[in-house]
């Protein structure tokens, strides 16, 4: 697999950043950076989201240009869940948004299969949403990317990301 520039998540600032090693940009063999960008860049909210103010629909400005056939927009609608609790409905929507954001990997033949598992963790009062994404390649190899708390990963100062390639 080709190496790409790695985006490393800074939990204290809640931003992705590039880093240098030995005078060159840090690189990665897997798809962690592609998944981070696909999930945590804000996709433009659709009309059915209930957001009526066009300026509040977020998204990348390039997605407002004339659409290119068979090219998906950048990011996900996970940001729409920022005020939701970890209910079954919110978990279903999170899974849908994650699948939509990563669909390009299937369409472009980058991966052969994507499995998404979204579950509620912890007691009801402090329940969080955990996400596990398994990317399967034609070679039989897999890469797992996990977020112990999707809300924390997207909306607060504590971030946990566990990746592993097998």
- CA gap 128, 63 in Å, rounded: 31
Enter the pTM of the model: 0.77
**Who contacts 2 (Cβ-Cβ below 8 Å, separation ≥6)?**
none
| pLDDT, position 139 | 95
CA angle, 78 as apex, 102 and 146 as ends, to 5°? 60
- Per residue in 26-72, pLDDT (tens digit) is 887 778 888 988 988 888 888 788 888 888 888 777 766 766 665 56
pLDDT band at 117 (very low <50, low <70, confident <90, very high): very high
> How many CB atoms are located within 10 Å of the residue 113 CB?
12
């Amino acid at each position: 697999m080709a190496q790409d520039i790695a985006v490393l998540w800074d939990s204290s600032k809640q931003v992705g950043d590039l880093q240098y090693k030995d005078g060159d940009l840090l690189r990665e063999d897997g798809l962690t950076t592609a998944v981070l960008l696909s999930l945590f860049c804000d996709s433009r909210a659709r009309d059915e989201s209930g957001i009526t103010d066009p300026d509040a629909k977020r998204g990348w400005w390039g997605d407002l240009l004339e659409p290119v056939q068979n090219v998906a927009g950048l990011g996900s609608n996970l940001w729409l869940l920022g005020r939701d609790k970890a209910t079954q409905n919110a978990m279903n929507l999170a899974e849908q948004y994650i699948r939509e954001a990563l669909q390009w990997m299937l369409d472009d033949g980058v991966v052969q299969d994507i499995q998404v598992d979204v579950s509620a963790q912890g007691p009801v009062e402090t329940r969080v949403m955990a996400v596990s994404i398994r990317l399967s390649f034609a070679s039989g190899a897999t890469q797992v990317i996990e977020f112990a708390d999707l809300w924390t990963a997207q909306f607060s100062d504590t971030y946990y990301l566990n990746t592993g390639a097998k």
